[in-house]
Structure 1
Amino acid sequence: MESSISDTKNAILLVGKEANHVTHELLASLSAKGVSIHVVDCGMSFRAFRLADSTKGLDFPVLHEVLVQRAFTPYQLMDFINGLLLDRDNLERKSRLYAFLAPSKEFFDKDIKEDERRFLLESLVAKFNQLQEEGFSLLISESRTKEELAYDTYILHLKEAVHCKLIEPIRQKEIDNGKNSRSLFS
């Protein structure tokens, strides 16, 4: 049931409080359709249970289509992306959706000086641009907003570099009578 989305240069950028929640819903939906997904969790925000729970009842091993890895530092993230770019001709790797969860989180660690942060964020944006230009499909989710000019600049440059709309999802609030509650039907 494998499906590929590599024939288009897809990029989705989700930002804001609800980005992680919506990202998990997208991952569940896509993996249920057989899309191979590689999650790069940079902010300890991947929730396997949420993905499994939202796809329970399917006759398809959804979690078998999802690879997960953690990047603990900006340098590990950049090394992973460099590895993808070096292996750009590998059609199996290129057919996956690469979901980057909170890729900028570690760049704002207190141990990283401001000049280094700016340089690393610019490099990250350039790497995402290269991935997209090479035909990799990207889902970038930044769920935590930072009150810093460097973060705002990073988001703006990222949006321009991957040629996509900036989506700031808003979760529909539950009404007291439960009409919008998904828990009623699960």
Structure 2
Amino acid sequence: MKKDKEENFTLHIFTIHISSIMDLAEQTHYSSTNIYEPIQNWNQKDLGLLTGERGMYKLAHYWQYALVCSGFQVFNLDCAIRFNPFTITEETRKQNLAPEPFLEQIQIQRAFTPYQILDALQHILKEKRENTIYFLLAPCKQFLDGDVKDDEGIYLLNLMLGFIEKFPTENVPLLIIESWTYSHKNFKIFFPKLLRASQTLWELKTEKGLSRIRTRKTSITGA
């Protein structure tokens, strides 16, 4: 992160209401008081991936709220109706803030077919908006749909990976939020490739009633 953005980010993350922490996963408790440390420390030159069994999408909303607090704009490519504006609204109201200025800084584009997703990724790479953090929500789901033949699905998944891998080289900040729970055989082939392509990898894990974020991989080369 640029220095001025980094200082601003650090200032704002600790203003987030502590009750947010308790909402990450149903019937669980979070093991840390700073759910924003991973995104605070993330090198935007790296391809980031947040995965887990549950709770990732809600955590992504809190990260987006913190990013907007720090002066960034956020763009969601939502591939499975995972973005919920009411989560942002609830968070602003806990701070006695009007939600509209925050929501105005968060754009959502929904894509419901593999080809819509591929087209949207290409458009994002061409557009390269300044001061914008991109979130790719549940990108694999549409490729695993029963209407998509297996051979076509894996081919298109690999095409998507090719576009995703261009984001770091084009200096377009991208965070992918994806569950690891799909049982489809193509997902079992593709997901390890996505894990290898990610330069920063976080796992939201729930054990014995505690939810914690584990950093599985982080860049050692980015500045």
In structure 2, distance between residues paired with 1:48 and 1:100: 16
Alignment of 1:97-136 (within 5 A): 97-136=133-172
Match of 1:64 in 2: 104
User: What TM-score results when the alignment is normalised by the length of structure 1?
Assistant: 0.79
- Counterpart among 57, 67, 85 of residue 48 in structure 1: 85
In structure 1, distance between residues paired with 2:205 and 2:83: 18
Aligned residue for 1:125, secondary structure, equals: helix
> What is the alpha-carbon root mean square deviation over aligned residues?
2.6
In structure 2, distance between residues paired with 1:59 and 1:66: 14
In structure 1, distance between residues paired with 2:91 and 2:49: 22
Question: Runs of 5+ in structure 2 lacking a partner?
Answer: 7-39, 211-223
Name the structure with the higher strand share.
Answer: 2
In structure 2, distance between residues paired with 1:134 and 1:155: 23
Match of 2:203 in 1: 167
In structure 2, distance between residues paired with 1:161 and 1:173: 31
Higher relative contact order (CA 8 A, sep 6+): 1
Match of 2:59 in 1: 22
- CA gap of 1:172–1:22, structure 2 versus 1, over 3 A, is farther
- CA gap of 1:126–1:46, structure 2 versus 1, over 3 A, is same
- CA gap of 1:20–1:74, structure 2 versus 1, over 3 A, is same
Q: Percent identity over the alignment?
A: 29
In structure 2, distance between residues paired with 1:43 and 1:171: 26
Conserved 8 A contact 1:121-1:154: yes
Match of 2:194 in 1: 158
The count of residues paired between Structure 1 and Structure 2 equals 168
Match of 1:74 in 2: 114
User: What TM-score results when the alignment is normalised by the length of structure 2?
Assistant: 0.67
Question: Runs of 5+ in structure 1 lacking a partner?
Answer: 175-186
- Counterpart among 108, 122, 141 of residue 177 in structure 2: 141
Match of 2:69 in 1: 32
In structure 1, distance between residues paired with 2:5 and 2:109: 21
- CA gap of 1:172–1:3, structure 2 versus 1, over 3 A, is farther
- CA gap of 1:52–1:79, structure 2 versus 1, over 3 A, is same
In structure 2, distance between residues paired with 1:132 and 1:122: 17
In structure 1, distance between residues paired with 2:209 and 2:63: 19
